[in-house]
Structure 1
Amino acid sequence: MSATTVTCGEYLVKLLESYGVELIFGIPGVHTVELYRGLPATRIRHVTPRHEQGAGFMADGYARVTGKPGVCFIVTGPGMTNIATAMGQAYADSVPMLVISAVNSRDQLAMGQGRLHELPSQRNLVAGVSAFSHTLLDAAQLPEVMARAFTVFNSSRPRPVHIEIPLDVIVSRAGHLPTDARPLPDKASASQAAIAKASTLLKAAKRPLIVAGGGAADASAEITAIAEKLDAPVFMTINGRGVLKPGHPLALSGNLGMDPLLDELAASDCILAVGTEFGETEMYPEPKPFQFGGPLIRIDIDPQQLAIGVPCTLPIAADAKLATSALLSALGEGPAAGSGAARAKAANAKVEAGLWPACRTHRALMDIVTRTLPQAVVAGDQTEPVYAVNQFYQAPQPRSYFNSSTGYGTLGYGLPAAFGAKLGAPHRPAVCLIGDGGLQFSVQELASAVEARIAAAVIIWNNTSYGEIKAFMADRAIPQIGVDIFTPDFIGLARSLGCEAALPASIAELEAALAASPKRDVPTVIEIRAGSPLALALAA
């Protein structure tokens, strides 16, 4: 192919390859087919979901496991409205995602002439769910715009970026443009003064406490060492699970809305919070105000995040790993003698005493998953098992447990997110926890997983309702309208889509189905019906 004939669409995929992109999720349409012309000349794999929202959720799961942006090719108009919800979930949870779409030709933009897939402004549509959205008016802009996007992913708070390319620009000549990735700026380091002040506050504390959020995922070793040096208990948010290894004596369980955790925050004389918003979705089922017993040190890559929400004594705008590494050095020799493990044990005992009955059932379920599939990546939906598991689950490592009960809170997320996670970490088992209601939002993605040969265990908790909402309505004496739903034959449906499927009647059958799932090259759908002998055995 002559350089003079290379189009912008062909150039785009070569440029993506130079930035390390290995996978694209997309559904080709008449407006995006030119983005596909150059794909065979790259090493990039393409996966075809059955809905653009599924594409976004797959990209999200891939990004959470790998730390690299999930990339999507999306058709104009309805493709963008479909993926907007997935972008919202990624935006809320700080997940890197690159959405590349077409848009009508430059001379047709905003004309309202009734063109195919026309919207008044796609950029306005996604303004609230993206770090930025850019209309590429000339192919020569692409190297700069792509560098800007990857700077967001690499060096600041990672969130979705949208680049739309007019139809006439996609086919314009771009063979003269450089295909090398531009050097990206380093992540922000903390100032020496801030680290020195943080070190002074922490060394003076008698009852320090650490809160580790999703932004701390890559600082696991540093935070563990700081916790051990200070003898400080560590609370890991849902997206921060795995920062401390399972069974660590300083690890706290529960959620920040529980009285034992609120009491511990109030009794602590210095709190170090790394990469967390202190969001209300960490306080199930009801948000409560925080009271801190001492100075609060917050480390976050996003300076604006440090100015909103929970006010702090010492804001440190920096990358979590760089800042905690510097703080670890500044703290000097250790470990300190203290009562951190005893405090964690006492708080955990109080949390345990306050857990509701469903937690027992789903603890037994997760114990089986963990025992049968060690090192599994677990992606969850908004469903009873997930809300229960959030209270006690200890992930094997960071970037191993995530779900849509946090942030934006979307149904249907868990299934495609688990598939994306498996593609990002093919050597690890993947498990989806989802309810019958949430599954019906995205069940069609089983077909895309069969086509892409993705092995994952899909555990359906089937209570034939939107169970969490039904209980919420009942607690408030609201008529339970619209929450008891028809559910299909999931086993027959899964098999018709090419999946393996099981309806286990015992714990042994459940273990066998889970154990078989990673040995296959298609999803294994495992249905557990509420009230069944298996469900009762798990609750026993």
Structure 2
Amino acid sequence: MPRTTAADVLADGVHRAGAARVFLAPGAPAFLRDAVARRGLATLDAPDVTDACVMAAVTGELGDVPGVVLATLDDVAALSPGLTLAARDRAPLLLLTPPHADVALLAPIVKASLIVEPASAGHWIAHAANLAMTGPRGPVHVACAASVAGAAALPVATACRPAPLPPPAGAGLDALGARLSATRPLIVTGLECGGDDARWVRAFAESLPAPVLATPKGRGTLAEPHPLALGLLDGSHPLLVATDLVLLIGVDASELPPGVLPATARVARIGRAPWPEGGPTLSADIVGEITLVIEELAPHVKARPSADWDVAALDRLKRAAVAEALTAPGARLVRIVREATPAGTIATADVPLGLAWQAVAPRETLTPLGGHAPPGYAIVAAVAAQLADADRRVVAFTSPLGLAAGAGAVALATDRALPIVIVVLGPEGDEQAFTRALARGLALARPVVIGAGD
């Protein structure tokens, strides 16, 4: 019977955390590569370490699993953009490397750096996976020396995924239920909302009834064509002035730029992660599974009178927002792509999309939080999204500079025959020619680049 090594235990832990693919940065240590291969995990050689981290971050964001990267710490500066993206976007990620003297440089952008020994390999990989997946999610570093990786280790049946959140306390439900007596409640959805939450949020919004705004990461929780979906959260949005309760659902504090909520606003929250000190003051806060909390609030919703929003005014706001969205540069081309692609299409972007792209489910629109991303993000993210789900259409929206920066990812997509569509936005040309080029591109079983002037 083959001997089990510490590297085998790490690879098994990664597998039990739910990861199906490992992204390999150039120079990834052979002793870790061999271990993941023995465990049967798929691997992908990334063009560089930044791309490896971006693809792992997108994998973690799309699925309920950590993205995994094998790399070295020889160039921490090259690691930083991808890890920073994962930290900012709350994407669960495991970075496995050999130890290095510069490991302290990772401290600002990882949740922890853990050192593995043969006797503790099972414990530490389970702890790393749990920490990466526990809100607020983010990257965790695991260091394993070659001498340790080859040493005999005992597999340990440790849990590599976080336990379910406890049910909400009655006192918290009562406090939030009392806040729902507001006459003009406004819901804001954020990055913690997943596919299972969407139908509950919709039913909740319709029952109150309450209009819904979304952060860039919360788009699609309520399908954007829905009459109550009133656009993106912005400090100048007129609903923020009219509301007497802002209810954050699945919103991370990092999604709220300073001053985006009025200083006088009464704010309550339903979320999966603890609210940090320094965030907006909450009048009520429940940490738990979003679906379960909404279900438990049903008696409070039934007992209250309907909200007092002017339905006609909300309809005018929605129509105006959609019309304004189509005046932005490139917006008409974005709308053409949206109308030509099926529901469930994933859009990745490092250029503004606005409401020209109508998201109909959570995590269909992948944009970096705050608009800050490594060069070429849209194309790299599209490759990762297509690898994560081969059956979904994936479209990347970028600029000429983004296309140049993503050349390595384009080559990778070509080598793997990934049918991503790359739309390069710029000065708009003939819309009919663009539509014809798009139709041809959508029919191909390989990556295609379509320019605004096509």
Q: 1:354 to 1:507 in 2, by over 3 A?
A: closer
Q: Provide the residue aligned with 1:69 in structure 2.
A: 66
Instruction: Give the C-alpha shift of residue 366 in structure 1.
Output: 2.0
CA distance in 2, matches of 1:228, 1:340: 14
Q: Provide the residue aligned with 1:367 in structure 2.
A: 335
Q: Provide the residue aligned with 1:265 in structure 2.
A: 240
* CA contact 2:230–2:318 (8 Å) conserved in 1: yes
Superposed CA offset, 1:263-322 (max 9, x none): 322221122112224657x77xxx6453266521022333243x3232221232334333
Q: 1:346 to 1:277 in 2, by over 3 A?
A: farther
Q: Provide the residue aligned with 2:184 in structure 1.
A: 207
User: Which of 320, 329, 348 is residue 290 of structure 2 equivalent to?
Assistant: 320
Q: Provide the residue aligned with 1:160 in structure 2.
A: 139
Letter paired with 1:380: A
How many residue pairs match? The answer is: 452
Instruction: Give the C-alpha shift of residue 356 in structure 1.
Output: 8.6
Letter paired with 1:378: A
- Pick which of 181-190 and 33-42 moved more: 181-190
Instruction: Give the C-alpha shift of residue 520 in structure 1.
Output: 3.8
Instruction: Give the C-alpha shift of residue 33 in structure 1.
Output: 0.5
* CA contact 1:455–1:522 (8 Å) conserved in 2: yes
* CA contact 1:188–1:301 (8 Å) conserved in 2: no
* CA contact 2:69–2:94 (8 Å) conserved in 1: yes
Q: 1:223 to 1:125 in 2, by over 3 A?
A: same
Q: Provide the residue aligned with 2:438 in structure 1.
A: 514
Instruction: Give the C-alpha shift of residue 90 in structure 1.
Output: 1.3
- Pick which of 237-246 and 517-526 moved more: 517-526
User: Which of 110, 131, 135 is residue 130 of structure 1 equivalent to?
Assistant: 110
User: Which of 222, 225, 234 is residue 247 of structure 1 equivalent to?
Assistant: 225
Q: 1:197 to 1:288 in 2, by over 3 A?
A: closer
Q: 1:394 to 1:341 in 2, by over 3 A?
A: farther
Letter paired with 2:68: V
Letter paired with 2:345: A
Q: 1:368 to 1:355 in 2, by over 3 A?
A: closer
Instruction: Give the C-alpha shift of residue 330 in structure 1.
Output: 4.2
CA distance in 2, matches of 1:356, 1:515: 21
Instruction: Give the C-alpha shift of residue 462 in structure 1.
Output: 4.4
User: Which of 364, 368, 379 is residue 415 of structure 1 equivalent to?
Assistant: 379
Letter paired with 1:20: G
CA distance in 1, matches of 2:172, 2:246: 15
Is 1:147 aligned to residue 126 of structure 2?
A: yes
Superposed CA offset, 1:69-94 (max 9, x none): 1111112312x432221111111111
CA distance in 1, matches of 2:160, 2:225: 43
Q: Provide the residue aligned with 1:525 in structure 2.
A: 449
CA RMSD of aligned residues (A): 2.8
Q: Provide the residue aligned with 1:495 in structure 2.
A: none
* CA contact 1:97–1:159 (8 Å) conserved in 2: yes
Q: 1:460 to 1:355 in 2, by over 3 A?
A: closer
CA distance in 1, matches of 2:260, 2:34: 54
Q: Provide the residue aligned with 2:91 in structure 1.
A: 95
Percentage identity across paired residues of the two chains: 23
* CA contact 2:8–2:39 (8 Å) conserved in 1: no
Q: 1:85 to 1:183 in 2, by over 3 A?
A: closer
Q: Which runs of 5+ in 2 are unaligned?
A: none
CA distance in 2, matches of 1:393, 1:192: 40
* CA contact 1:26–1:48 (8 Å) conserved in 2: yes
* CA contact 1:205–1:269 (8 Å) conserved in 2: yes
Is 1:390 aligned to residue 354 of structure 2?
A: yes
Is 1:187 aligned to residue 165 of structure 2?
A: yes
* TM score, norm. by length of structure 1: 0.77
* TM score, norm. by length of structure 2: 0.90
* CA contact 1:88–1:408 (8 Å) conserved in 2: no
- Equivalent residue runs for 1:131-530 within 5 Å: 131-136=111-116, 138-174=117-153, 176-178=154-156, 181-182=159-160, 184-202=162-180, 204-218=181-195, 219-258=197-236, 261=237, 263-277=238-252, 279=254, 288=259, 290-291=261-262, 295-305=266-276, 307-328=277-298, 330-332=300-302, 336=306, 338-339=308-309, 341-349=311-319, 351=321, 357=327, 359=328, 361-374=329-342, 375-381=344-350, 383=351, 386=352, 389-404=353-368, 406=370, 408-462=372-426, 506-517=430-441, 519-528=443-452
CA distance in 2, matches of 1:127, 1:134: 11
Letter paired with 2:241: A
* CA contact 1:140–1:177 (8 Å) conserved in 2: no
* CA contact 1:461–1:527 (8 Å) conserved in 2: yes
* CA contact 2:325–2:331 (8 Å) conserved in 1: no
Looking at CA atoms only, which structure, 1 or 2, has the larger radius of gyration?
1
Instruction: Give the C-alpha shift of residue 160 in structure 1.
Output: 0.9
* CA contact 1:61–1:419 (8 Å) conserved in 2: no
Q: Which runs of 5+ in 1 are unaligned?
A: 104-118, 464-503, 535-540
CA distance in 2, matches of 1:392, 1:288: 26
Partner SS for 1:332? helix
